[in-house]
């Protein structure tokens, strides 16, 4: 026969509260190891959050537009050290900054503990609150800015015609990952909103724990995926996981007590309680102007950049009217001599594509230098490389200006063959320094029928080519909805 536990009645409750209050006040005294651990954590997280590099301040103060001013704030990375090796870029050594910060924190905390040896201080509740608040705001502005890249779906564009016609094995993993998200725009937008909401929750004490859980989960997934696909932003994503866990740790003892130990809890966390009205106004004013700037203003800037200015990864200038499509190469002549199609031929084109924007693509069985950069947004169409970044298969990508009166295409090779390292956004500036001059071609074109183009001119080797292209109107399985089969 199971034992019957005595029922609790309301009489006991007042006693419960009394004992809880006692516990809560006794909790205010920290043990010496808690004090020491806190000093380490304080220095460590302060180092990770507050920009310490001179270059950052230079960039920050040289911002000419509001965006250039905000962007260093949302995207500051605690790069104390960069190790020049494969592991330093892709592997465990890329986390070296964290190790250095920890070393400095331990050393600093030792000095701090030594200096404070005579202090009668028994807790750091106030300081703990503020360092957690700092972490919360850092996460909030960073992740909201991250999220806006997807809510205004810039980060992962929908696959281009060339992307659709490239073999799965001719992609790098990182490109496949981004492209798979880009396939479903609403899903990308949703993922963006998860980040924006998760970041927004960090602004408020009451929702910070939930926000920290969401952000730790989402950013863990992003960080691990960046390792899994060599996406290159693993450290920056893991950084937010670390900060989120630090915030969560602030709330964890109470959650543990309530759920695991099954004890009633009266939260006794410190919160600033400004006595004077002006103090309150200043604090709240500061908080809500931060929220206004990093949510509303930055959101509008991102919206404007995406939909109005077209600062994108993909070109925006429309291609030749009515040309968009995938083309078979029906005839191909070099210096007047016809070359029949063979998949092994290294001169003859195998197919050609006019994208909806002004990019012309053709495929040859000949190796090309693969662009291994991320293909970040650029201001000029000719510099926008996302469409072929991380992609092989022998395709050549040309930006073109068309003279529709004289029927001439002025083409420029988009792949300069210089972005050949898997760089993240840190090295965006060095990318441009190394640029080589582009190959330029001038071709005549004619359109004898709606679906046929004839191209003639000189190729890179100054041989004259004559190409007949026939458009193939076709569906792609990727665009089939199984619901309407």
Partner 1 sequence: MAKHILTGNNTEWKRYELNAFRFAFIYFFIQAFPLSWRFYKDLFTAIGSGFQFQDLFGLTTYMPRFFPKGSISTTGFAAYADWGIVLLIAAGGAIIWSIFDRDRKEYNQWYYWLRVLLRYRLAIAVIAFGIIKLFSIQLPPPTISDLHTNYGEFLPWKAYSLTTGVASAYYEPALGLIEILGGVLLLYRKTISIGAGLIAAFLINVLLANYAYEIGQQVYSAYLLVIAFFLIWYDTPRLFNLLVLQKRASANRIKPIITAGRWAKARVVLKSAFVVFILLLGVATYAGHKKDRFPFPENNGLAGAEGYYNVKKFILNNQERPYSFTDSLRWQDMVFEKWGTISIRSPQRIKPDLSTPEIISLQTDLERNYESAGNAGRAFYSYQIDTLHHKLSLQNKNKNYEEEKWVLQYNRPDSVTIVLTGVNQLKDSVHVVLNKVNRKYLLKEGRRKPIKI
Considering only residues 148 to 187 of the shown chain, the ones binding partner 1 according to CB under 8 A are 159, 163-174, 176-177, 179-180, 183-184, 186-187
Note every long-range contact of 31-36, with CB atoms under 8 Å and residues 24 or more positions apart, other chains counting: 35/113, 35/121, 35/123, 35/124, 36/109, 36/113
Q: In the window 328-357, what residues touch partner 1 (CB under 8 A)?
A: 328-329, 340-344, 350-351
By CB under 8 A, which span of 70-78, 213-221, 280-288, 432-440 interacts with partner 1? 213-221
Q: Are the C-beta atoms of residues 74 and 145 closer than 8 Å to each other?
A: yes
By CB under 8 A, which span of 47-55, 69-77, 237-245, 476-484 interacts with partner 1? 476-484
The reply to whether 482 sits near partner 1 by the rule CB under 8 A is yes
Q: In the window 108-147, what residues touch partner 1 (CB under 8 A)?
A: none
The reply to whether 473 sits near partner 1 by the rule CB under 8 A is no
Number of C-alpha atoms within 13 angstroms, CB side, residue 289? 6
Q: Which is nearer to partner 1, 263 or 451 (CB)?
A: 263
By CB under 8 A, which span of 102-110, 129-137, 367-375, 398-406 interacts with partner 1? 367-375
The reply to whether 255 sits near partner 1 by the rule CB under 8 A is yes
Q: In the window 19-58, what residues touch partner 1 (CB under 8 A)?
A: 20
The reply to whether 193 sits near partner 1 by the rule CB under 8 A is no
Q: Which is nearer to partner 1, 52 or 184 (CB)?
A: 184
The reply to whether 260 sits near partner 1 by the rule CB under 8 A is yes
Write out the DSSP string of 94-115.
Answer: GGHHHHHHHHHHHHHHHHHHHH
Write out the DSSP string of 278-337.
Answer: HHHHHHHHHHHHHHIIIIIIHHHHHHIIIIII---SS--SB-STTT-EEEEEEEEEETTE
> What is the Cα–Cα distance from 251 to 260, expressed in whole angstroms?
14
Would you give the binding string for partner 1 spanning residues 78-107, x where CB under 8 A is met?
A: --------x--xx-----------------
> What is the Cα–Cα distance from 160 to 178, expressed in whole angstroms?
13
Q: In the window 261-290, what residues touch partner 1 (CB under 8 A)?
A: 261-267, 269
* CA of residue 460 relative to chain centroid, distance: 37
The reply to whether 397 sits near partner 1 by the rule CB under 8 A is no
* CA of residue 357 relative to chain centroid, distance: 25
Tell the smallest beta-carbon distance from residue 183 to partner 1 (Å). 6
Q: In the window 224-243, what residues touch partner 1 (CB under 8 A)?
A: 224-225, 227-230
> What is the Cα–Cα distance from 174 to 232, expressed in whole angstroms?
9
């Amino acid at each position: 026969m199971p034992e019957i536990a005595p029922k609790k009645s309301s009489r006991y409750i007042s006693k419960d509260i009394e004992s809880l209050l006692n516990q809560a006040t006794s909790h205010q005294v920290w043990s010496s190891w808690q004090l020491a651990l806190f000093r380490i954590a304080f220095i460590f997280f302060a180092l990770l959050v507050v920009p310490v590099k001179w270059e950052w301040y230079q960039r920050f103060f040289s911002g000419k537009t509001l965006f250039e001013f905000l962007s260093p704030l949302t995207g500051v990375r605690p790069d104390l050290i960069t190790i020049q090796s494969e592991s330093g870029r892709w592997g465990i050594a890329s986390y070296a900054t964290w190790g250095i910060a920890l070393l400095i924190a331990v050393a600093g905390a030792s000095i701090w503990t030594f200096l404070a040896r005579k202090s009668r201080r028994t807790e750091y509740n106030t300081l703990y609150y503020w360092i957690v608040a700092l972490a919360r705001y850092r996460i909030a502005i960073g992740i909201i800015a991250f999220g806006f890249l997807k809510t205004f779906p810039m980060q992962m564009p929908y696959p281009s015609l060339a992307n659709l016609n490239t073999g799965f094995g001719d992609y790098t993993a990182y490109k496949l990952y981004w492209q798979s998200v880009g396939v479903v725009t609403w899903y990308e937008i949703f993922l963006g909103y998860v980040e924006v909401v998760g970041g927004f929750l960090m602004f408020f004490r009451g929702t910070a724990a939930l926000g920290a859980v969401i952000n730790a989960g989402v950013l863990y997934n992003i960080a691990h995926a960046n390792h899994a696909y060599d996406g290159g932003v693993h450290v920056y994503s893991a950084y937010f996981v670390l900060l989120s866990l630090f915030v969560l740790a602030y709330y964890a003892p109470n959650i543990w007590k309530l759920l695991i130990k099954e004890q009633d809890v009266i939260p006794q966390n410190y919160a600033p309680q400004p006595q004077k009205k002006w103090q309150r106004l200043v604090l709240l004013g500061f908080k809500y102007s931060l929220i206004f700037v990093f949510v509303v203003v930055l959101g509008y800037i991102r919206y404007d950049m995406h939909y109005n200015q077209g600062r994108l990864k993909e070109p925006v200038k429309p291609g030749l009217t009515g040309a968009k499509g995938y083309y078979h190469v029906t005839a191909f002549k070099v210096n007047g001599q016809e070359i029949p199609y063979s998949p092994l031929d290294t001169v003859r084109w195998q197919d050609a594509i006019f994208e909806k924007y002004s990019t012309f693509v053709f495929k040859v069985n000949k190796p090309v230098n693969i662009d291994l950069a991320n293909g970040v947004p650029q201001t000029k169409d000719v510099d926008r490389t996302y469409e072929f970044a991380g992609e092989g298969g022998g395709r050549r990508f040309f930006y073109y200006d068309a003279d529709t009166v004289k029927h001439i295409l002025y083409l420029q090779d988009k792949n300069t063959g210089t972005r050949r390292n898997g760089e993240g956004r840190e090295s965006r500036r060095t990318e441009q320094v190394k640029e080589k001059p582009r190959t330029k071609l001038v071709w005549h074109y004619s359109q004898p029928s709606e679906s046929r183009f004839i191209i003639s001119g000189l190729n890179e080797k100054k041989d004259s080519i004559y190409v007949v292209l026939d458009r193939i109107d076709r569906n792609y399985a990727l665009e089939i909805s199984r619901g309407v089969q």
